Chain A
Amino acid sequence: MFKVNQMVSTVENEYIQRLTQMGEVVTYTVAADLFYEGQIPVVAYLILDGHVHLLKGKKIKDTIGGGHLVGARELMNNINAKMSAQIMPKTKVCFLSKSDIQEILDNDDQTSEHLEELLNA
Chain B
Amino acid sequence: MRKIKEADKCQSCPSRGKGIFCELENNDLDDLSQHKVTNTYKKGQTLFVQGNHPFGLYCINSGNIKVTKTGADGKETIVRVAQGGDVLGHRSLFTNDFYTATATALEDTKVCFIDKKYILKLIEDKPSVSLHVINKLSRDMGAAENKLTSLHQKNVRERLAELLLLLEQTHGEDVEEGRKLNIKLTREEMATMIGTANETLIRFISEFKDEGLIEQKGKTIILTNKEKLADWANLAY
Contacts and interface: CB of A to CB of B under 8 A. Distances in A.
Interface of A: 24, 26, 28-30, 32-33, 36, 39-43, 75-79, 95, 97-100, 103
Given A42-B56, A77-B1, A30 B51 contact: yes
B55 A95 contact: yes
Contacts of B23: none
A39 B39 contact: yes
Contacts of B118: 97-99
A43 B115 contact: yes
Nearest to A39: B39
B34 to A, nearest CB: 9
A75 B2 CA distance: 10
B220 interface: no
A40 B46 CA distance: 14
Contacts, number: 57
A42 B55 contact: yes
Interface residues of B, number: 23
Interface in B66-124: 113, 115-118
Given A40-B38, A78-B37, A97 B1 contact: no
Contacts of A76: 1
Nearest to A77: B2
A78 B4 contact: yes
Interface in B24-48: 35, 37-42, 45-46
| Minimum-distance CB pairs A-B, first 4 | A97-B115, A99-B117, A42-B113, A39-B39
Contacts of A41: 37
Given A42-B115, A78-B4, A99 B35 contact: yes
Contacts of B113: 42
A42 B103 CA distance: 15
Contact of A95 (B42, B49, B53): B53
B51 A36 contact: no
A111 B39 CA distance: 29
B155 interface: no
A32 B49 contact: yes
A78 B55 CA distance: 18
Given A32-B49, A77-B1, A97 B117 contact: yes
Nearest to A84: B45
B39 to A, nearest CB: 4
A28 B37 CA distance: 23
B52 interface: yes
B49 to A, nearest CB: 6
B69 to A, nearest CB: 16
A26 to B, nearest CB: 4
B53 A97 contact: no
Given A77-B1, A78-B4, A33 B115 contact: no
A32 B38 CA distance: 20
30 contacts: A24-B53, A29-B51, A30-B51, A33-B46, A36-B42, A36-B45, A39-B39, A39-B40, A40-B37, A40-B39, A42-B39, A42-B56, A42-B113, A42-B115, A43-B55, A43-B56, A76-B1, A77-B1, A78-B1, A78-B2, A78-B4, A78-B37, A79-B2, A95-B55, A97-B56, A97-B115, A98-B37, A99-B117, A99-B118, A100-B117
